[in-house]
Amino acid sequence: MINLIIITEVNANRVIEHIDSFSNLNNELSLNDTLVKKESSVNDYINFYQKYISNIRGHECPMYPSCSNYGIKMFSEYKFVSAFINTSERLLRCGHDYKNYSLAVRSDKFKYLDIIEMDSIDSKLLYKPNNYYFAYADSYDQDSNFQVIIELINNQFYQLAFLEILKYEKTENSFNIGLFANKLICLFAMGEYEKVLFEYDYKCPDNYKFNDELVYQISMAHYKLGNFDLAINNFLNITSLDTNFIITPRQKLLNGLLYANLYKWEDAKDIYKNLSTDFPQNKLFNVNYETINNFKILKEKNPTLSGIISIIPGAGYFYTGHKQTAVSAFVINSLLAYATYTNIKSKNYGMAILTGIFNLSFYIGNIQGSIKSAKRFNLQKKKSLINKLEFNSNF
């Protein structure tokens, strides 16, 4: 318990969420099994902290997952030393420099997303503002049922509109492009992007596959699924098969965003530049061009340099813009180093070993974390640009 209390007292900003405890592995008297038992005991300490200590602290950790859950996962899936260092580094960062993290929504609360590197990010965790979708009505239909569908979509009742479309399809003897396009819009609005692709691939007649509205919706579905390369290749394939295909401005806007997500900045910039030239009355295109052009002026941070200068605790974090974390790293490492020195001086060697181990853990964590912070800064900078382009494009 002493080890746990020392760790938790170093930084007060922790959320303690109840999670299921991990089961112990069966016993063979081998070195690896001993290591697993040690890791399991650490998890037991953290679980004890979650169950009996966290609730009396009166506040929640702003990070997701919380530091305690982060530690449990680390000690369960990494070797002890690596887990110890990485958990120490997380404690240094917790509650600081929020602008360097994406927002996540958990139980109607905002958290700052900071998952373990080997984990993939569930897109449902990420906070995104509400989007509103409107019906496709190019093929105007006087049928009252069709008008009801349009009204439902335009008022954001996508599920009801989808059910009406399914009923309407039963009465149709031929393919209705307006009905089908609105069906894809409903599926897209409900987040069923794979179903959008399925409907297009298997239920849309070939002679309608080059419809500009359907092509746009398929590109958007690929975009939402993160299939940026596939979306571009699919679009290029369609335009090569149908040389008369008219590329709409919103499709060009989307293509620019696809290239930006692939970090092909020059390709994206060329698209926005051509749009601003072709449609000078639309200020939006020029805004995107200027946004991406100004981005190129900003320099990225060098992870190697960040790691080298973090020999002075906190210097690497300061270089990458994690200024509060830099102060935290410097103070904690200094205090632990001083505690180790005074314990040695007073010949309290047991406590000197203990504080020395923690000092070494936080010091190495500071170096590793500084390298990661440079990568995080660069990634967040790119994400920020893409978010601006996406917002400007009304996607």
The per-residue pLDDT string of the chain (395 residues; one tens digit each, 9 = 90 and over) reads 334 333 333 333 333 333 233 333 333 323 334 334 445 666 666 766 666 566 665 567 888 888 888 888 888 888 888 888 888 888 888 888 877 887 777 666 778 888 777 556 666 666 666 778 888 876 555 667 788 899 999 999 999 999 999 988 888 788 888 899 999 999 999 999 999 999 999 999 988 888 999 999 999 999 999 999 999 998 998 888 887 888 889 999 999 999 999 999 999 999 999 998 888 888 888 888 888 888 766 688 999 999 999 999 999 999 998 999 999 999 999 999 999 999 999 989 999 999 999 999 999 999 999 999 999 889 888 888 888 888 888 77
pLDDT at 218: 94
Reduced 3-state DSSP string for the chain: CHHHHHHHHHCCCCCCCCCCCCCCCCCCCCHHHHHHHHHHHHHHHHHHHHHHHHHHCCCCCCEECCHHHHHHHHHHHCCHHHHHHHHHHHHHHCCCCHHHCEEEEECCEEEEECCCCCCCCCHHHECCCCCCCCCCCCCCCCCHHHHHHHHHHHCCCHHHHHHHHHHHHHHCCCCCHHHHHHHHHHHHHCCCHHHHHHHHHHHCCHHHCCCHHHHHHHHHHHHHCCCHHHHHHHHHHHHHHCCCCCCCHHHHHHHHHHHHHCCCHHHHHHHHHHHHHHCCCCHHHHHHHHHHHHHCCCCCCCHHHHHHHCCCCCHHHHHCCCHHHHHHHHHHHHHHHHHHHHHHHCCCHHHHHHHHHHHHHHHHHHHHHHHHHHHHHHHHHHHHHHHHHHHHCCC
Residue 94: per-residue pLDDT: 86
